[in-house]
Every structure is written in structure tokens, then in C-alpha cells.
Amino acid sequence: MLMSCFHVINKQFRQRFLYIFFTEANFLKSYCVKVLLKIFVILLLLPIISCSKKSVVQSKINRNELVEIKMPRSYKLDSNPNEIIKEITFLPLENSDLCQIVDPNKVVFNENRYYVLDFLKALYVFDNEGNYLHQIGNKGKGPGEFIEIRDFDISRDGKIVILDFNRILKYDKDGSFEKIVTNYNFFKDNQYCNPFQFASISDNDFYIWGGSMGQKKYISNNYAMYRSKETILSEYYFPVTHKYNDDSHRFIKHNNFYLINPTLGNDTIYSIAKNRINTKYAIIFKNRFTLKNEINEGAFLKGYYPEAYYSNNLSHSISNPLETSNWLSFSFNFNQKIINTFINKNNHSIYTFYYKYDNSPFPMELDFNIDQSFACILSALEAKTLLDKLKRTKLSKFEISNHKSFEYNDNHVIVIYKLK
């Protein structure tokens, strides 16, 4: 009986409370309730906001195969080139209106063909004797055309893959368009990447390099290099803390792996092999100049950091690594000079040259591999100057082949260094 009365009273109370709450209570319109509603909305949206601004950390780099190379305290810049060079070949590229190269940005040798990228404009193909074959694609907005050819690569199945603005295109080796591999938009997900170089792992798997291009603020969520699978950024490398030199080519292919051209101040040469990023070589300088983390790489290369250029007997800045089965080559800065370095991987001998000295048969930098040789592409005038230097100094006991008298308006020349 008592419980029954209590139940009736309780029911009446609940009904009265609900009636007041929904019809008569003025506090629903009060300031306090409005604040509570705002807090509720914020708590509801907090997980979404936190996910969209989730910070990312650099992906793991394999360091198990690192090889340390200890450089001497002083460098013998009068190394004898006859000890390492077997033959130098000058290969003039065909000169015609169809293939006149203005600004060669990248050269790849594959299956007895030279692929020469004329920066942003065209990709020309020559045979192994320098004869012009054809062009890959055309600039334009039609089917199979590109807006600007930023970079190219040759896939494992021999197809030509072109990095265009906001998309990647594929052609066969004769230049016929096959398909758009992917359209991409990396200006999202609280990150910024404007790729202008890439390495093709498979049809929808790429390592892309954007560096600091277009970035006005360097924040922790932005990286210089990403891995993109199915247009999704899945791996992150080299945080952008300063301006990079966006002219340096970062991916240098050799057989079934890539070497990654180091960023300024980094003396480690990385590789892309076995489907991962590896530290391959650490160059140990005994007289190293330590650059500040926040140094502007583009400004440095324009001479805005004189303390680095004019630091006597200090070394820094590895660049342009190339590799064959017997040799490793790279350049570095020393005493205001760019030093060409060649290391025999069998006996660990180190040879250093300064390109302006008479004993050096090399240009300022080498560009690419041809099987077991190193090579570069020079203008006709640069090739003529180098050839005249070799004849004038009479230092060469190695063979010089395919040379002729170059005219300033000739097409570019590929110079091949076959080492012992």
C-alpha cells in the first residue's frame, strides 16, 4: 500500500517536472543553457578536429646497411686521372630543329637509348650513337599531352612515366600515350606537397619530392619527401624546416635502386631499395663545417652564407652521388671549391679533383650512370672547352673517342667516363 502511494506520487511528480521543463521553464532560454549547448557542440566536434590536425612523424628509415666512409683530413687535388680512367667518349647528339635542347635537366640511359629532359618542355629520345629517334608526348591540354613535364622515370616494364602538374602519365618506349596513371591533389590533409620530382616503384606507388616549393611557412607537418600509394600520402621523410634548393635532382636511378641526393648539410646518402628507404653511405669528414639547421639552402647556394664558403679547410654538403659496382662518386664543398670524389669500392682508394685544375678531366658535376660508367651532358661549347683542355695538358694516357670539332650552335654532347 505504501509502495503504491509512493509510485503514484512519483509518477505525478515526474509528469509535473516534464511539463514545467518543456512548457514553463524560462531557464532554457537563459545564458547558462546556451553556454552548455556550445560546450556540448565543441565536445561533439573535438574528435573530428583533432583527427584533421593530427600531426605526423617521420617514417622509419632502415639503418642496418649503413657503410661509413671516412674522408682524409686533407685532400690531394692533383690526383692522377690515368689511375682511374680507361676511356672518355664524346657523343654529340643529333642537331636538328626537332630536338634542339635548351636546358637539359635530366638524362637516363636505358636499353641503349638516351632519354633527355629539356626542362618543363620536352622529353627527347636518342639512340646509343646520338641519333634522334622521337619525342615522348607533347606539351598541350589534349589527350596524352602534358601541361609541363616536371620529371620522368622508366618503370620496371620499360614504360615511360611522366610527372605532370597534378597527374602522372604513362607512355610506351616509342612515345605512344597509354593512360593517365593517377590524378593527385596533395594540397590537403593539413599538409602541403607540390611534387616536381619522383621515383616510380609501381603503377600507383611513387616516392615524390616537393621540397619546400611554394611553402612560405615551414611547419612540423610538412615534409620534403613522401610516399604516395593510390594518391594517399602514406610515408613521410625529411621535415621541411627551411628552404631547399629545388633545382637539385633528388632521385638518381641505378639498375634496381635509387640514390637520393642529400639535402644541404646532410652527409648521408640514402637509397630506395627493397621497397624501403635506407641509409646507404655516411660520409665522415674530419674537418666538417656544421651548418645551422635553419639555413636557407637556396640562399646558401647563391652565396648568402659566406661563413661556409670562406671557412678554410672545412668540408660540407654532399651532392650528386653516383654508383657502379666498383665505384662511388659524389661532390662536396671544400675551401670554396666543388670537389669531385671517386672511391674505389674494392680497395677503398679515394681520388679527388677540382674541375678548374689542369689535371682534372671532369666537369663541375657528373649527372648519371651508363652501366659501369659515369656520364654528364654538356653544351657544345662546354664540350669543346673540355676537349681542348685534354689536348692542351697532354695528361691523358686513356683513350678519347668520338671527338670532333664542336661548334657553339651544335646540340648538346654526352661525355662518358669509363673507369678501370
* Domain boundaries along the sequence of the chain: 63-419
Q: How far apart are CA 239 and CA 84, in angstroms?
A: 38
CB atoms within 10 A of CB 169: 22
Q: Please give the pLDDT value at position 199.
A: 94
Which residue(s) pair with 88 in the sheet?
A: 400, 417
DSSP-assigned states of every residue in 172-201 = -TTS-EEEEEEE---S-TT------EEEEE
CB atoms within 10 A of CB 126: 23
According to CATH, the superfamily of the domain at 63-419 is TolB, C-terminal domain (2.120.10.30)
Q: How far apart are CA 361 and CA 359, in angstroms?
A: 7
Residue 333: CA atoms inside 13 Å, Cβ hemisphere, count?
Answer: 22
Averaged pLDDT in 10-residue chunks for the chain of 420 residues: 39 45 47 54 46 62 89 83 91 93 93 92 94 93 89 92 91 91 69 83 88 64 83 82 69 89 82 91 82 48 48 77 94 85 94 89 91 93 90 72 80 94
**Total-model pTM:** 0.81
Q: Please give the pLDDT value at position 403.
A: 66
Q: Please give the pLDDT value at position 14.
A: 44
**HEC states along 251-315?**
EEEECCEEEECCCCCCCEEEEEECCEEEEEEEEECCCECCCCCCCCHHHHHCCCCHHHHCCCCCE
Q: What are residue 369's phi and psi, to 5 degrees?
A: -105, 150
Q: What are residue 379's phi and psi, to 5 degrees?
A: -70, 165
Q: How far apart are CA 264 and CA 269, in angstroms?
A: 12
| C-alpha torsion 371→200→332→58, nearest 10 | -140
Q: How far apart are CA 63 and CA 270, in angstroms?
A: 10
**Is-contact 104 149, C-beta < 8 A?**
no
Q: Please give the pLDDT value at position 334.
A: 83
Question: Strand ranges (DSSP E) for 301-356?
Answer: 315-323, 327-334, 337-344, 350-354
Query: If DSSP codes are grouped into helix, strand and coil, which group holds residue 6?
Result: helix
**Is-contact 415 402, C-beta < 8 A?**
no
Task: Using the Cα atoms of residue 386, residue 253, residue 323 and residue 402 in order, give the sign of their dihedral.
Answer: negative
Candidates 14, 344, 362, 329; CA nearest to 353 is 362
Q: What are residue 392's phi and psi, to 5 degrees?
A: -70, -40
Residues 6+ away with beta carbon under 8 Å from 75: 334, 339, 352
